[in-house]
């Protein structure tokens, strides 16, 4: 049984009433045992039902019919980050309350959810099978027919989609470490005008937290650290906020000011909650440090991180900042592998980052990498399992393997696949997906080349003239890591052993020397030449001729 999305019903201490009845459906037919209580239904059947409910987002409606409160439904969504998919949580809790198969069958009929009805049909009284008579094949394959518009169950309004999700996240949520999250009311956070919600959306999700050793920082301190969140201090913008450079406690920091968006509040809360939980748990050299959070001003909540003056690996590969030589790329590859190996070998259950790409690999002043952006991190399978199923897939599509995108099978090998693509990018500086290439995916394109010489034609010239051993190892290992079959991908422990190979430690002939200043304005492009000069000291560190890039 896999961890996470698996409803652990088999081991529950439940009363066992004499509930099974044996019936004969027709003369000459075999006797079939019917199950009255949900906890008596085989695990595989309930798991299949839960998978469909998660995929079709029907579990909140079913939970409403089961008379769970909005607070309970919201708790299912948050708890699913830790204990599995929300539908599994709903079925597990309903089973603990001695819910019957006949009642859930009727609820599914009210929802016109024929897929679910067919899954548990053999575990309900045959007298109820007539409820399926209006069903047709198109409805069974597609879920709910467009002509059905079921009314909302007791305890739920007609609000659907994002409104329903926002309504569902209500009340207090108890975390495993006994710290509490208070869900702020929408009125405390959103302006009344221009709201994307109707007036009956009473709650908006945000965090008022105290998570262990994470420091709570007054908002006024961060305003001072950024000179009033001055636009000149902006380092970057993302979907969930703006990142500023600040000076706090005599230290350079990166301050992410979160956007409050009602249209995607649930996803916002989920990712912030996940990142805080992971960074609190994971303290490691190659994982970005979280210094604190600021939530005393809910509409301008902030996360405070270690400042990474070297920028991102993506900036280096796209030449927005000076390129890395082969020795420096080796440092980045090793450090990234160390960070992933730490996540994958945590005691008990491993963590899967889920969004490994150059933009999420940040570099400090010594170009030592740290993994960032843990909003999509999930628990992997238990030690005795190869994978676990998830209800939804997030991440950057072109960096994810097919078994995760299509089959929703999550394992540490998802990160291995992504890391393999990063190695190929560091080796070639080619785009991970390019419509102009005859073979659009980078790993498939490199794999199609007939020999080492053809592959070496794509060696990134901005790394310097030497570094062939490093290039060859990056390509060979990158192709192994990005194999289509996850069984062919090595574990991070093996990958790290390969990257520590002495061949990668040798000095690269003709490499671009390191530079002293990380400010982009210190890079001057002049025709076919590029100069890296430090404007702070008026000294030219180096000048090179720009090679033609493929």
Q: Which candidate in 355, 373, 415, 460 is catalytic?
A: 355
How does residue 83 score in pLDDT terms, banded at 50, 70 and 90?
Answer: low
* Rama region for 464: left / alpha / beta (φ>0; ψ in -120 to 50; rest): left
Mean pLDDT of the region 419-443: 95
257 annotated as belonging to a binding site for a ligand: yes
Report the Cα–Cα distance between both ends of the chain, in Å, rounded. Answer: 49
Q: What is the 3-state secondary structure (H, E, C) of 210-268?
A: CCCCCEECCHHHHHHHCCCCCHHHEEEEECCEEEEEEEECCEEEEEEEECCCHHHHHHH
Q: 70 or 26: whose pLDDT is higher?
A: 70
Q: What is the 3-state secondary structure (H, E, C) of 86-104?
A: HHHHHHHHHHHCCCEHHHH
Q: Which helix (H) or strand (E) holds 423?
A: helix 413-428
CATH number of 313-505: 1.10.510.10
What ranges make up the beta strands (E) of 307-420? 351-352, 361-363, 369-371, 378-379, 388-389, 409-410
C-alpha span between 456 and 158 (Å, rounded)? 60
Mean pLDDT, rounded, for 323-342: 95
Confidence of residue 432 (pLDDT cuts 50, 70, 90): very high
Asked if 333 and 423 touch (Cβ cutoff 8 Å), the reply is: yes
DSSP 420: H
Q: What is the CATH number that goes with domain 21-156?
A: 1.10.533.10
Residue 336 has pLDDT above 80, yes or no: yes
Q: What is the CATH number of domain 181-306?
A: 3.30.200.20
Residues facing residue 237 across a β-bridge: 242
5 — pLDDT class (breaks 50, 70, 90): very low
Residue 271 or residue 517, greater confidence:
271
Place 35 in a pLDDT band, splitting at 50, 70 and 90.
Answer: low
Provide the β-strand partners of residue 280.
none
Name the token pair of 85.
Answer: 């998919």
Contacts of 295 (CB under 8 A, 6+ apart): 206, 207, 208, 209, 216, 301
> Per-residue pLDDT for 505 more than 90?
no
Domain-wise residue ranges, the chain: 21-156, 181-306, 313-505, 515-550
**What was the pLDDT predicted at 537?**
38
**Sign of the Cα pseudo-torsion (413, 414, 417, 423, in order):** negative
> Is 135 labeled as catalytic in the residue annotation?
no
CB 256 within 8 A of CB 245: no
What order of strands is seen across the sheet that includes strand 539-545?
523-526, 529-534, 539-545
Q: Give the tens place of pLDDT for each residue, 135-173.
A: 443 333 333 333 333 334 443 433 333 333 333 333 333
Q: Give 306's strand partners.
A: 253
Looking at per-residue pLDDT, the higher value among 536 and 110 belongs to: 110
DSSP assignment, residue 270? Answer: H
* pLDDT classification of 524: cutoffs 50, 70, 90: very low
- Please compute the mean of the pLDDT values over residues 237-264 and round it to a whole number: 82
What's the rounded mean pLDDT across residues 340-349? 89
| Predicted local distance difference test score (pLDDT) of residue 43 | 84
- What integer best gives the mean pLDDT of the chain? 73
Q: Sorting pLDDT into bands at 50, 70 and 90, what band is 267?
A: low
> Residue 420 — very low, low, confident or very high, per pLDDT cuts 50/70/90?
very high
């Amino acid at each position: 049984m896999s961890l996470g999305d698996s409803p652990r019903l088999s081991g529950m201490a439940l009363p066992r009433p004499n509930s099974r009845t044996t019936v004969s459906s027709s003369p000459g037919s075999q006797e079939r045992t019917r199950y009255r209580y949900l906890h008596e239904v085989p695990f595989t059947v309930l798991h299949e039902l839960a998978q469909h409910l998660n995929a079709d987002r029907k579990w909140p409606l079913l939970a409403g019919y089961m008379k769970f409160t909005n607070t309970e439904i919201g708790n299912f969504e948050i708890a699913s980050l830790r204990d599995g998919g929300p539908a599994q949580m709903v079925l597990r809790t309903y089973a603990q309350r001695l819910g019957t198969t006949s009642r859930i069958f009727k609820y599914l009929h009210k929802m016109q959810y024929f897929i679910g009805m067919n899954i548990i049909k053999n575990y309900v009284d045959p007298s109820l099978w007539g409820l399926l008579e209006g069903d047709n094949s198109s409805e069974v394959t597609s879920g709910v027919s467009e002509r059905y518009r079921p009314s909302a169950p007791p305890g739920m309004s007609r609000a659907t989609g994002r409104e329903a999700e926002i309504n569902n996240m209500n009340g207090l949520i108890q975390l495993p470490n006994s710290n509490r999250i208070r869900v702020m009311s929408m009125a405390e956070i959103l302006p009344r005008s221009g709201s994307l919600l109707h007036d009956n959306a009473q709650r908006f999700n945000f965090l008022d937290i105290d998570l262990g050793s994470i420091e709570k920082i007054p908002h006024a301190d961060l305003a001072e650290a950024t000179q009033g969140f001055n636009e000149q201090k902006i380092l970057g913008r993302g979907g969930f906020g703006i990142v500023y450079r600040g000076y706090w406690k005599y230290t350079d920091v990166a301050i992410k000011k979160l956007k409050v968006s009602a249209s995607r509040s649930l996803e916002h809360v989920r990712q912030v909650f996940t990142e805080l939980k992971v960074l609190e748990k994971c303290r490691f050299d190659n994982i970005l440090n979280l210094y604190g959070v600021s939530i005393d001003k809910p509409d301008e909540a902030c996360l405070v991180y270690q400042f990474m003056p070297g920028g991102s690996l993506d900036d280096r590969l796209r030449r927005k900042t000076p390129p890395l030589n082969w020795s420096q790329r080796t440092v980045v590859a090793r450090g990234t592998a160390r960070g992933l190996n730490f996540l994958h070998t945590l005691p008990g259950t491993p963590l899967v980052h889920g969004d490994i790409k150059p933009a999420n690999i940040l570099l400090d002043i010594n170009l030592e990498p740290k993994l960032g952006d843990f909003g999509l991190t999930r628990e992997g399978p238990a030690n005795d399992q190869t994978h676990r199923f998830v209800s939804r897939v997030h991440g950057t599509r072109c960096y994810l393997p097919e078994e995760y995108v299509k089959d929703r099978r999550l394992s540490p090998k998802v990160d291995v696949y992504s890391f393999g693509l990063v190695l190929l990018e560091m080796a070639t500086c080619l785009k991970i997906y390019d419509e102009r290439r005859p073979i659009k995916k980078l790993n498939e394109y490199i794999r199609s080349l007939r020999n080492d010489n053809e592959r070496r034609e794509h060696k990134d010239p901005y790394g310097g003239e030497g570094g062939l051993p490093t290039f060859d190892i990056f390509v060979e290992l990158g192709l192994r890591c990005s194999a289509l079959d996850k069984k062919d991908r090595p574990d991070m422990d093996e990958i790290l052993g390969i990257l520590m190979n002495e061949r990668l430690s040798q000095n690269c002939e003709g490499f671009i020397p390191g530079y002293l200043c990380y400010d982009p304005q210190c890079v001057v492009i002049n025709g076919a030449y590029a100069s890296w000069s430090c404007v702070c000291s008026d000294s030219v560190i180096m000048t090179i001729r720009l090679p033609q890039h493929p």
